Amino acid sequence: MSSTAVLEVSGLSKVYGDAIALNGASLELQRGEIHAIVGENGAGKSTLVKVLSGMVIPDAGTVSREGVELVFGHPGNSRKAGISTSFQELSLLSNLTVAENLLISELPRQFGVVRRSVVEKKAAAILAEWGVVDIAPDTLVAQLPLSAKQRLEIVRALNARPDILILDEPTAALPDTEWLFHHVRSLRDTGTAVLYISHKLREIAELCDRGTVMRNGAIVGSFEGSDFNHDELISTMIGRSINLAFPPRVSPIPADAPIVLVGEELTVGRRLTDVSLSIRGGEILGVAGLEGQGQRELFYALAGELRLSSGTVTIAGEPADLRSPRTAMRSGPGIALVPEERKREALFPDLPTSVNITVPALSEITRGGIVRHGAEEKLAAEAGAGAHLPDAYLPRIVGQLSGGNQQKAVLARTSLTGAQVLLMFDPTRGIDPSAKLEVYGTLRKAAEAGAAILLYSTEIPELVGLSDRVVVLYGGQIAADLTGDQIQEDAIMSAAVGHARNPGTPNSGVAS
Amino acid sequence: MKGGFGDSVRNVFTNGASRAFIVLIFMLLVWAKFQPNGLKVSQLDSYLTLALPLAAAAMGVTVVLISGEFDLSAAGVIALVNVLLATTFTATNPLVAAVAVIVIAALIGLVNGLFVVFGKLPAIAVTLATFIILGGLAQVLLPQPGGQVPQGIVDAVMTKMFIPRALLILIVLGIGWLWFKRTRLGIHMFGLGEDEAALHLSGVNVRRTRLWVFAIGGALYGLAGVFFSALTGSGDANSTKTYLLATFAAVAIGGVSFAGGSGSGLGSIFGALVLLAIPKVLFVLKVSDWMQMVVQGIVIIAAVLVGALAVRRAQNQAFLSLGREAEVDSVEIASEGKA
Amino acid sequence: MMSTAASERRRPSSQGFVRPVVLAVLAGLVLVGGRLVSDSLPSWLSVQTLLTLSMFIITIALGQGLVMLIGGLDLSVPGVIAMSAAILALWTSVRGGSVIVGILIALVMAVLVGVVNGFLVARFQIPAFIITLAMNGILVGISIGITFGHKAPAAPEVVTTLFSGSGKWFGIGIPVFFFVLVALVGYVIQAKSRFGRGAYLFGSSNTAARIAGLPVERIQIGIYALCALGSGIAGIMLLGLSGNAELQLGDEWAIPAISAVLVGGTVIGSGRGYWQSTVAACLLLTSITVVIQATGFSQGWKSVLYGVVVLIALLFTRPDTRFSLRRKGSPALAEGESPTEMKGKV
């Protein structure tokens, strides 16, 4: 424990069901330093931020502010301890103005009334002080572009002039980073300690004094800000998953395997721009990208859940009907989505697992309007077996299952849709290693059986181990298109963080 | 993002209060035009006076809805207040009586809030139960219609002036709303309905805000009860049943969002006026009695339909031009699916 | 890992049978305890009354419960009751038509109403609360309109015999048999049928239902149609009970039905709720009503007591919720927790 340490994090642990978010994370923050936190998605960065900001109560560990322990679980306590956070998922109120958002907890009033002009003047002063000139204080936050909202969120944190400033992916939507760096540096110079969470290594090199690498919820390394080797750092971030053997491809994709799905110049709002790709039967097309690079828009638009702003999608040669996931599933050979947020988008949490599984095949097990119990059990067991889900779990309420078993249930259900195109969005998120292996097996089997799989994963080794081709998304466009030997972890990661080293053809992942 | 004329027109339609206002003006004009021998001030006066309780109650429901919750107890509070004024407070100084019942009503609202915030019960269930209890209490206090509301209260509302008193009162209510939404509490209330979590993270005491909102809602129902008592002059525990649903009708016409985060007390006042103007208009148009209810229903549906479509269009525009907002659900335009 | 395995072992079926049994037993106890209040309790007559009254309530609660399961509330119940009673009464007593045809017309109209309700809610995502509220007004208006000039048309005899308690089979009032019938049919629909399955799935997660390819619009329309059908049937039954088609026929029954669903533990807008519990809760609340009735308390105190009972029942039947802040689009502030139900949006 050094004498200039302003924040001491010790042994923080947090588990969500079977997913380990934090695993004994410890670090020290010095006064007057800009300290980077890097790591892949799921490394624990967000959870760390949430614990420090008072949003999440850890299972174990302490956080001390110059010897005084921080009381967890309430934003007010963190604020009192001098911690101020700019969140990745913005904490702004869309139906209020910029000024109101900035001053929400300390709205100035005269005779009980918060006068617009007063608030706006104060807000304008704050904005001016921090060099933000293009946001009018009287604008409704809902009408601001994302970059403006981001700056607003940051200004709010900066303006608290905290002792400890936490910035969680502050430049995700920020075109002009100099502005941010300038102010972060000046705060640092007055003694503020800054925790800078980002995946943009170039920025970190430019801005940060020191850095810490997180992986699987723990601290696995540290580095000096200006002097680190990008490749080494990326390796540390990725790490090596122990004993994860990816089921090998049994037979190569036949040269004449038909192209099942073609997406041309797919655009969704501003998050996905002119992305084209195609997938053949039996092929696994991997998609890589850090959070928010357009992968969600891509997958959900293909699934019929989000509307395409422009672009065309054909399946088995015919235009795909993407009005809804239901029509997508019935469009030709069918498109099915394994969604991102298991709990919110895939599961029916209060219902038994077997019920969760048989959803797409209800017609088969219904006779006379009644769902035949025996037929349902049988079908669920069959599908479950295909996904390595033990029978014992079928009658249980699915919300009580471990993440791994839940995902197997989702995969079992997907197999019952009969869809040939499978859109798998981070299917191994939050599940234990042995379950992951089984999921890989299920994926591989599906591909062998002729499915055309689009696979997004935040774990690059998975993409390397499973994919036949990989496209990397960055900023809503394809930054790299890798095949065969080109599929390497560092190549993928580099492209994902914006160093497009592989001069693959941008904007098209179309197979030749 | 300020646009041209097209945008302005669209804004009017997205704004519930202006929509309701336009409909109201239209209806009043029709009424005036077809009223035999012209529309007299006295008729306008009685119409506006009749609208007072509904307008106040609608405002109460509005604040609770904006904060993201629900409140079914309005009619019960009105009944209890009416009965209290007619019996317990019948001989009290009118001003003291009025203040007392409003305070009591506010406390009832607070109790609702406590059940919701600390009891973690759904507001619909709690306020339904309190509605039943309050109705019962009112009947206990006054099993048969009767009693006498303090004359001072009746006079305060019913005295004839050169302009209808009710109009003045409505204007005061309107100004009251405009003031309230500029207070700290008012602004926090909007934030609460929009994103409770973000508000909490921003350092605002969410619990306290919510409790205050319920209390204010209660106070407004109390005020509605005072108006109601002034109108009837006596107590009747059973006569307020219609308010249960009429308040929500008024609120819907006024364009308040049932999801929270947006709405206007002014809109609800206009909504109440529109609702009560329907029978008048239909009467002068020689439409049979029973059609009134049908037309009322159609107007309500039309009002919320226009509102929903306008909001949807606005969301689409926002999505296309600004990039995806934080909320995924609002942007799932391709498919419906919400109850 | 250990704790997960243990929690995975908790049997789900217990949730479906413990509560209804407890509630039913409480209902019985209440009736027996009624002895303290009146010598006429408990008695077979009081049991019959209990079951008769419950018949009307569960007929409404069947559909209403499903509507609440998917996060809505159907306030057009009184209107549908009034309208279907009016149609039947008019058809038989004024137009001299046959009872069967009259019932058919009434129920078809009721279903139509439900379809319109469901369509507006599903297509435009307008809260069911307000749509059905408006629809209720429309229906009451229509009922007044069609019965214009005919003061409270009379019920056909068949219906009166069946539902007023005057008709008996084996010495037991016919409504008791209908109670059992509706309870069983309700069970089949909610727990066993594909239709009910759709409701539970959609209620459990709108999003998952949509992404899994379910016909979500059709499901919603079907549920509102069923609710209206139930109300229509209840209207015919109540017509039999009262003997005349009056506008206020349904007013007294909407709230008890909603209360039964809530006390039965259905969480609005979730996949959680059991028909057995609703029926048992109905028995409990009705038994309390019967006992309160026998006390001779004034009407006011009866209401107060009823409301307090509902509140207490709600507090005790609360599902285990953690304090979760609502964020538009995401269920709870602390991630990783099982999604607690969204605050009921109606």
Q: Per-residue confidence at C5, pLDDT binned at 50, 70, 90?
A: very low
Among B191, B320, B333, beta carbon nearest to A93:
B191
Kindly state the average pLDDT of the residues C236-260. Answer: 87
pLDDT less than 70: residues of chain B = 1-14, 315-339
List, for residues C266-308, the tens digit of each pLDDT value: 888 888 889 999 999 999 989 888 888 877 777 888 889 889 9
Asked if B56 and B153 sit in the same domain, the reply is: yes
The pLDDT value recorded for residue C14 is 47
Residues B315 and B206 in one domain: no
Distance CA(C300)–CA(A489), nearest Å, equals 75
The half-sphere exposure of A39 on its side-chain side, counting CA atoms within 13 A, is: 26
d(CA B251, CA B275): 10
Picking from B270, B286, B302, the residue at the C-terminal end of a domain is: B286
The CATH number of residue B208's host domain is: 1.10.3470
Q: Are residues B276 and B306 in the same domain?
A: no
Q: How confident is the model at residue A72 (pLDDT cuts 50, 70, 90)?
A: confident
pLDDT score for B10: 59
- Please report the pLDDT score of residue A327 as a whole number: 95
Could you tell me if B333 and B200 lie in one domain? no
CA distance between the termini of chain B = 32
**Token pair listed for B235:** 């107590």
Structure confidence at residue A217 (pLDDT): 85
Could you say which residues from 291 to 350 on chain A have a Cβ atom under 8 Å away from some Cβ of chain B? 297, 304-307, 309, 322-325
Count how many domains chain B has: 2
For A419-462, what is each residue's pLDDT tens digit?
A: 999 999 989 877 777 788 889 999 999 998 889 999 999 878 88
In this prediction, residue B79 carries a pLDDT of 95
Spell out the domain ranges in chain C: 18-28+38-345
Per the CB < 8 Å rule, is B183 touching A114?
A: yes
pLDDT for residue C15: 53
In a domain, residue B21? The reply is no
Q: Answer whether C298 sits within 8 Å of B140, measured CB to CB.
A: yes
Q: Band the pLDDT of A246: cuts 50, 70, 90.
A: confident
Domain of residue B310 covers: 291-339
- C-alpha radius of gyration, chain B, whole number: 21
Q: How many angstroms away from the CA of A79 is the closest CA of chain B?
A: 8
B74-86 and B41-66 helices, crossing angle to 10°: 120
Task: Quick: pLDDT tens for A356-412.
Answer: 999 999 999 999 999 999 999 999 999 999 999 999 999 988 988 877 889 999 999
**Per-residue pLDDT band at A303 (split at 50, 70, 90):** very high
Q: Is residue B332 part of a domain?
A: yes
- B335/A95 CB distance under 8 A: no
> What tens digit of pLDDT does each residue of A126-172 get?
999 998 888 999 999 988 877 888 899 999 999 988 999 999 988 87
Query: Using CB atoms, which residue from C141, C207, C325 is nearest to B290?
Result: C141
Q: What is the pLDDT of residue B321?
A: 54
Which of C285, C303, C333 would you mutate first to test chain B, the one with the most B CBs within 10 A? C303
What is the average pLDDT across C130-150?
89
Q: What is the DSSP string of B130-163?
A: HHHHHHHHHHHH-SSSB----HHHHHHHH---SS
Weakest mean pLDDT among A68-72, A267-271, B324-328, C271-275: B324-328
Interface of C with A in 149-188 (CB under 8 A): 188
Q: What is the pLDDT of residue C335?
A: 32
- Nearest Cβ partner of C75 from B115, B138, B245? B245
- Cβ separation of C208 and A345 shorter than 8 Å? yes
Complex prediction ipTM: 0.84
Q: B19 lies in a domain?
A: no
- Same domain as B305, residue B250: no
Note whether residue B10 is domain-resident: no
Domain boundary pick from B243, B258, B286? B286
**What local confidence, expressed as pLDDT, does residue C12 receive?**
41
Together in a domain, B308 and B182:
no
At A512 the pLDDT is 34
Residues B74 and B217 in one domain: yes
Confidence grade of residue C186 (pLDDT, cut at 50, 70, 90): very high
Instruction: Give a yes or no: residue B25 inside a domain.
Output: no
pLDDT score for A17: 63
The predicted pLDDT at position A239 comes to 62
Domain match, B192 and B338 both: no
**Amino acid letter, B83:** V
pTM: 0.84
At residue C22, the pLDDT reads 81
Residue B6 belongs to some domain of the structure:
no
Whether A240 has a pLDDT exceeding 60, the answer reads no
Is B295 inside a domain boundary?
yes
Contacts of C71 in chain A (CB under 8 A): none
> Are B267 and B319 in the same domain?
no
pLDDT at position B227, please?
Answer: 95
CA of A137 vs chain B CAs: smallest distance (Å): 14
> Which one of A94, A138, A343 would you mutate to disrupt binding with B, by most B Cβ within 10 Å of its Cβ?
A94
pLDDT confidence of A250, banded at 50, 70, 90?
low
In angstroms, the separation between the Cα of residue B245 and the nearest Cα of chain C is 7
C262: closest CA among C193, C316, C207, C182? C316
Instruction: Give the confidence band of A93 by pLDDT, cuts at 50, 70, 90.
Output: very high
- Residues B208 and B305 grouped into a single domain: no
Give the separation between CA A408 and CA A428, rounded to whole angstroms: 10
Same domain, B134 and B235: yes
- What per-residue confidence (pLDDT) applies to B186? 94
Asked if C278 and C264 touch (Cβ cutoff 8 Å), the reply is: yes
Q: What is the DSSP letter of A479?
A: E
Tallying the residues shown for chain A, one arrives at 512
Question: Which residues, in sequence order, are CB contacts of A195 under 8 Å at separation 6+?
Answer: A29, A35, A37, A49, A52, A164, A165, A166, A167
Do the beta carbons of residue C320 and residue C270 sit within 8 Å?
no
- Evaluate if residue C183 carries a pLDDT over 90: yes
Residue C331: pLDDT band with limits 50, 70, 90? very low
B275 lies in the same domain as B338 = no
Residue B4, in any domain of the structure? no
Return residues 4-33 of B near C (CB < 8 Å): none
- Residue A409 CB neighbour total at 10 angstroms: 30
Per residue in A477-495, pLDDT (tens digit) is 998 899 888 888 888 888 8
What architecture does CATH give domain C18-28+38-345? Orthogonal Bundle (1.10)
The mean pLDDT value of chain A amounts to 86
Least reliable range by pLDDT among A332-341, A343-352, C81-90, C320-329: C320-329
